[in-house]
Amino acid sequence: MPLLCEVAVPVPLARAFSYEVPPALAASVRPGARVLVEFGRKKVLGVVLAMSEGAAPEGVRLKPIAAVVDPEPVLPPELLSFLRELSSYYFAPIGEVLRLALPAVEREDVRALEAQGELPGTLSRVKQVGGRKIAYARPTDAVEEPGVLRGQAASVLALLRSNGEMPIARLEEKFGNARAAVKKLASLGLVVTEEREPPRDAFFARPEPRDEPPALNEAQSAAEARIEEALQGLGAQKSASFLLFGVTGSGKTEVYLRAIAGCLARGRGAIVMVPEIALTPQLVARFRARFGDDLAVLHSGLSEADRHAMWKRVRTGAVRVAIGARSAIFAPVANLGLILVDEEHDGSFKQEEGVRYHARDMALLRAHRASAVAVLGSATPSLESVHLVRQGKLVELRLPDRAHREATLPEVTTVDLRRIGAGPTGNKLISLPLHRALEKTLAAGEQVILFLNRRGFAPSVVCESCGHVATCLACSVALTFHRARGGRMRCHYCDWEGPMPAACSECKAPALALEGLGTERLEETIAEAFPTARVARLDRDVADGAKAEAILAKMRAGEIDVLVGTQMVTKGHDLGNVTLVGVLNADAALSLPDFRASERGFQLLVQVAGRAGRRDRPGRVIIQTRNPEQPAVQFAKRHDVSAFLEHELADRAEVGYPPFSRLTLFRVDALDEEVARRAAGVIAAHAKTSPEGQSRVVEVLGPAAAPLARLRGRYRFRVLLRAKDRRALRAATAVAAAAIAEIDRRVRVVVDVDPVAML
């Protein structure tokens, strides 16, 4: 009986393809291994999903597998099964999903295939490791003419300007034609390239002295005992999932460390996920101090060779703990026993490009499938997690007090910007109470964090004559002025930038004014107002992962007095000498056109407030707002997370939004507005013809223009499907998704299951 196998190939198609296994390869073809197959007129690397005995359907001639790439499957059965379920849940092509978890091919294997004549001329197209040099691309200061760049070249340049220097291999993971795009950009003088030796991973560059586990308080001990009990019961039960709900500074990390130690003691492995790469160095240092260097750190800054080395150590079982951001959920940890998700509420756990998975939700799924324990930790839990607690699907563990006995939650006061004017700086967002608090804190030799969620020098450029706001030609957003690099206007969505004009583009009057306050201007203003203070800034314009850690290290060493920043300053940093936190404009996050705006704004306020008073010195938080009566502000002022959750859950239940319903968002965009509008109409019409749509079990909202109606030159529309029953929603989603095949090829359609960003 012939041996057949199902192979997932790296194309945007939902299905796998059947191939015949030649007798000579029968012993080496296994699920989870990569194979070389003919697809169309070329050979590609695919992954074997399943094998079976039987003849091909009558009249069908199956192609044979050309070669086996991996002597051992790169995806273990548990991980392969999980990835297939993820693909099904998110309506994502299985080949694209598997790519998220696949390592590079070792160069020796590629050359062996070429020697067999199996890869003629395709060496450059296969992601591989084993070379000594890494090609990097970095943007120059040159500015392109508007409209000159399109497609991948424009996207690659935008990513480089956002992230700075990047390995070209990393760009290829995101953009298939990245090398050609970089070559074009280099010819235009917009990018320069060079080859260098791969750097050593900075996380392991310095030795970390081992620590002694501190004594736990009563709440920490109780939480540890519950997790330990669940780890002990693995095998007898399928899995266990917990929500570790602890105030900021309550010692959640110490509970994580004890849980991992218990997991390792039972011969099982663990995955630890954090929301931001900026958090990873601090966390890795804590883990190395406890467990030594037997850790794998998976992060975006790794070279392809280092990433592969880390992957190999995990896959072979040389290390049993993997730490990283959302992609760590795909780590091939053997005998998985524990998954930890720190700051589980954070929106960055949702992938917003490509396969739009939510790493927190997938952590619960993978733990369940692997019969492992999942622990979600947060000081401000997501409403979805709180709802799961109430449904009995998560067990809540509480840490109500700060871990350091002398530390207390900071005093929070609000400043009503409608009634209280500017301090000595003259800027309304540096009110007199905030200015006086800064003076007092600096005089005491203590540190300050100032949070403003707007990058740049000024958020907008306005004509004082006609009122026109300078707007990006490709996006329906205002341009931000950045004083750095000679003064430029920049779009924070498509990363276009250009010089500040001499006159208004509408009325030609030379009366342009800088409106508002950004972190760049705030840093300059504070430095001028307090000339003896050492002021630094932490935002995406000045710091990637490594640079961010350098700034935070200076803060911990007392070399910075005032740290100004965006959301990067709010996340989990343990800075013992910070006693004042100022939130300059709480309304910016709370006024977005998104049903999650109140929840996100509250989480930001509580998280940034939690940076103050973490040791023996009492902390103080000043929240500036034009609406101090807003519930999120009032609850944050009282540190009353539970009351906010109750209030917000009641509001969500009333309007029928998650967690009391499920959503699928179809995002539609095209260069032509009418083409995009028609395509969205087709998707909505199909959804309404489904049995679930006709019976109104599934609401079909739209088509409608997206709140951000134009982005990177493309007009954006959306269709939202909403239902209380998940099965009904999936059925209607499947019908609507089938309509994509009928739509004009100029239109791009993304199916976003459980969307987080609604703009």
Question: 333-391 pLDDT, tens per residue?
Answer: 999 999 999 999 999 999 998 999 999 999 999 999 999 999 999 999 999 999 999 99
pLDDT of residue 92: 94
CA distance linking residue 200 with residue 255, whole number of Å: 30
Measured distance between the N- and C-terminal CA atoms of the chain, rounded to whole angstroms: 54
β-bridge mates for residue 34, sequence order = 47
Nearest to 623 by CA among 582, 661, 671: 582
Nearest to 721 by CA among 671, 656, 674: 656
pLDDT of residue 540: 81
pLDDT of residue 44: 86
CA distance linking residue 563 with residue 555, whole number of Å: 8
Spans of the chain below 50 pLDDT:
120-124, 131
pLDDT of residue 124: 43
Buried b (16+ CB within 10 A) or exposed e, 268-289: bbbbbbbbbbbbbbbbbebbbe
Nearest to 634 by CA among 619, 644, 645, 648: 644
CA distance linking residue 558 with residue 198, whole number of Å: 32
The dihedral built from the CA positions of residue 240, 241, 243 and 249, taken in this order, carries a sign that is positive
CA distance linking residue 668 with residue 703, whole number of Å: 9
pLDDT of residue 617: 78
Contacting residues for 328 by C-beta, under 8 A, at least 6 apart: 271, 272, 273, 298, 322, 359
pLDDT of residue 401: 85
| pTM across the whole model | 0.85
pLDDT in tens, 53-63: 877 777 788 99
pLDDT of residue 127: 58
Set out the domains of the chain in order of their start, with CATH numbers: 3-125 (3.40.1440.60), 133-197 (1.10.10.10), 203-399 (3.40.50.300), 411-454+518-652 (3.40.50.300), 456-516 (no CATH), 662-753 (3.30.70.600)
